[in-house]
C-alpha cells in the first residue's frame, strides 16, 4: 500500500508540473565526455554522470516521466547503485526527476534550491505556477558557498554562483576527469534564459561566467545546461555575446530609446543564429532591458 501511494504521488506530481507533455517518444542518448564522466541527453537539461567503483552520481535528472529511461541508460553505463544527485538549480527540467530518484539516492543542492522546491513558485513569464515539491524531491544536503563529494576517485566540487541564471546556481567541477557541468549558466550557442523572478540577473551572469572562465583548466570539456559538449573557447565566446549584447541594449536605453524601439532595431548579424533556440532575440533583448531597469 505504501509503495502504491508513493507511485500515485509521483504520477500526480509529474502531471501537475509537466501538464500533457508527451515523453513517450523521448530517446536518451549517452556520450562519453572525459575520464569517467558521461552526458545524457533526453528532454530538458543535460545530465552529467560519474560512473566508477563507488557507484553512480548524476548532475540533474530532467523530468519525472523519464525516470525509467534514465535508469536504463545508467545501467548501460555502469552496474553500480545511483548514490548521489547534484542539482545545479531548481527548474523542473533539471529537478523533475528528484521525486522519482529521491527515495533511492541522496539529493544535494544549494540552500536556495531547497527553499524554492519546498514552496510554490509563480512565473509570470510562462504564466505558470509550479507547486511545492513533495518531501521525496527535496535536497537533503544543502550548502552555502561550496561542497565536495569525494567519489569515484575524484573530488567532485560544487560551487555556488549567485544571481546569475537564478539565485541557486551551482557549477560542478569533476577535477580529475577535467569536466565542468555549468547547468543553465551556459546555453551553448544560444541566448540564455535568465530567470529574473528567481533571483537571476544578466549582469550577475556576465560576472559569474567571467569568474568561471578563470577557474576552468585548459583542455576541459564543458557540459552546458542545454546544447552540445563544449570547450573553454565556446564559453569565452558565450561570455563575449553576453557582454556585447548587454552593452548594446544599455547604450540604447541611455540614449532614451524605448524597449519597442530597441527590439525593432535588433542585434548585430553576428548574434542572429543565437536567437534560434528557446530564447528568441526579442525575448533576450527584453530580458536585458528588464534586468538593467531593475538595477536602476
Segment 55-68 shows an average pLDDT of: 98
Residue pair 136/64 in contact by the 8 Å Cβ criterion: no
Alpha helices in 19-110 (DSSP H): 67-77, 92-95, 98-101
Neighbours of 291 (CB within 10 A): 19
How sure is the predictor about 17, in pLDDT bands with cuts at 50, 70 and 90? very low
Strand 55-59, strand 82-86: pairing: parallel
How far apart are the C-alpha atoms of 19 and 40, rounded to whole Å? 23
Least confident of 14-23, 115-124, 217-226, 270-279: 14-23
For residue 22, give the 3-state DSSP assignment. Answer: coil
**pLDDT digit string (tens) for 165-220?**
999 999 999 999 999 999 999 999 999 999 999 999 999 999 999 999 999 999 99
Q: Is the pLDDT of residue 44 over 60?
A: yes
Cell of residue 148, nine digits: 565536495
- pLDDT, position 21: 79
Segment 93-108 shows an average pLDDT of: 97
Domain ranges of the chain: 2-231
- pLDDT, position 224: 98
Q: Count CA within 13 A, CB hemisphere, residue 178.
A: 8
**Which of 112, 276, 94 has its CA nearest to residue 182?**
94
Segment 62-91 shows an average pLDDT of: 97
Q: Count CA within 13 A, CB hemisphere, residue 106.
A: 10
Cell of residue 180, nine digits: 565542468
How sure is the predictor about 227, in pLDDT bands with cuts at 50, 70 and 90? very high
Percent of the chain at pLDDT > 90 equals 90
- pLDDT, position 125: 85
Cell of residue 238, nine digits: 558565450
- pLDDT, position 22: 86
The overall average pLDDT reported for the chain is: 93
- pLDDT, position 105: 98
**Which of 40, 60, 70 has its CA nearest to residue 170?**
60
**pLDDT digit string (tens) for 113-152?**
999 999 999 999 889 999 999 999 999 999 999 999 999 9
For residue 257, give the 3-state DSSP assignment. Answer: coil
For residue 39, give the 3-state DSSP assignment. Answer: strand
How far apart are the C-alpha atoms of 47 and 262, rounded to whole Å? 36
- pLDDT, position 258: 98
- pLDDT, position 295: 73
Helix then strand then coil, % of the chain, to nearest 5: 40, 25, 35
Segment 256-282 shows an average pLDDT of: 97
For residue 64, give the 3-state DSSP assignment. Answer: helix
DSSP run (H or E) holding 254? helix 232-254
Q: Is the pLDDT of residue 68 over 70?
A: yes
- pLDDT, position 296: 63
Q: Count CA within 13 A, CB hemisphere, residue 4.
A: 1
DSSP run (H or E) holding 269? none
**Which of 34, 288, 287, 25 has its CA nearest to residue 154?**
34
Q: Which CATH number fits domain 2-231: 3.30.365.10, 3.60.15.10, 3.40.50.300, 2.60.40.290?
A: 3.60.15.10
Q: Is the pLDDT of residue 16 over 60?
A: no
CA angle 33, 164, 38 (to 5 degrees): 10
Cell of residue 22, nine digits: 508527451
Q: What is the pTM of this model?
A: 0.93
- pLDDT, position 121: 95
Give 131's contacts (C-beta < 8 A, 6+ positions apart): 13, 16, 17, 120
Amino acid at each position: 500500500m505504501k509503495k502504491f501511494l508513493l507511485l500515485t504521488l509521483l504520477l500526480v506530481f509529474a502531471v501537475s508540473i509537466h501538464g500533457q507533455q508527451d515523453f513517450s517518444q523521448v530517446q536518451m542518448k549517452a556520450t562519453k565526455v572525459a575520464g569517467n564522466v558521461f552526458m545524457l541527453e533526453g528532454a530538458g537539461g543535460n545530465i552529467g554522470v560519474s560512473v566508477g567503483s563507488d557507484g553512480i552520481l548524476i548532475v540533474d535528472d530532467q523530468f519525472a516521466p523519464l525516470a525509467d529511461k534514465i535508469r536504463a541508460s545508467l545501467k548501460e553505463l555502469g552496474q553500480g547503485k545511483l548514490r548521489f544527485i547534484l542539482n545545479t538549480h531548481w527548474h523542473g527540467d533539471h529537478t523533475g526527476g528528484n521525486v522519482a530518484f529521491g527515495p533511492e539516492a541522496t539529493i544535494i543542492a544549494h540552500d536556495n534550491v531547497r527553499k524554492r522546491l519546498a514552496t510554490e513558485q509563480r512565473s509570470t513569464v510562462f504564466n505558470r505556477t509550479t507547486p511545492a515539491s513533495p518531501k521525496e524531491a527535496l535536497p537533503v544536503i544543502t550548502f552555502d558557498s561550496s561542497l565536495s563529494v569525494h567519489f569515484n576517485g575524484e573530488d567532485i566540487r560544487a560551487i555556488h554562483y549567485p544571481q546569475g541564471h537564478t539565485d541557486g546556481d551551482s557549477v560542478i567541477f569533476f577535477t580529475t576527469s577535467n569536466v565542468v557541468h555549468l547547468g543553465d549558466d551556459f546555453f551553448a550557442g544560444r541566448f540564455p534564459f535568465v530567470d529574473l523572478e528567481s533571483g537571476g540577473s544578466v549582469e550577475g551572469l556576465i560576472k559569474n561566467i567571467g569568474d568561471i572562465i578563470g577557474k576552468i583548466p585548459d583542455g576541459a570539456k564543458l557540459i552546458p545546461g542545454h546544447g552540445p559538449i563544449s570547450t573553454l573557447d565556446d564559453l569565452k565566446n558565450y561570455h563575449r555575446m553576453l557582454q556585447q549584447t548587454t552593452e548594446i541594449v544599455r547604450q540604447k536605453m541611455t540614449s532614451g530609446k524605448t524597449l519597442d524601439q530597441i527590439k525593432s532595431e535588433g542585434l548585430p548579424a553576428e548574434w542572429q543564429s543565437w536567437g534560434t533556440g528557446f530564447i528568441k532575440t526579442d525575448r533576450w533583448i527584453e530580458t536585458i532591458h528588464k534586468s538593467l531597469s531593475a538595477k536602476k
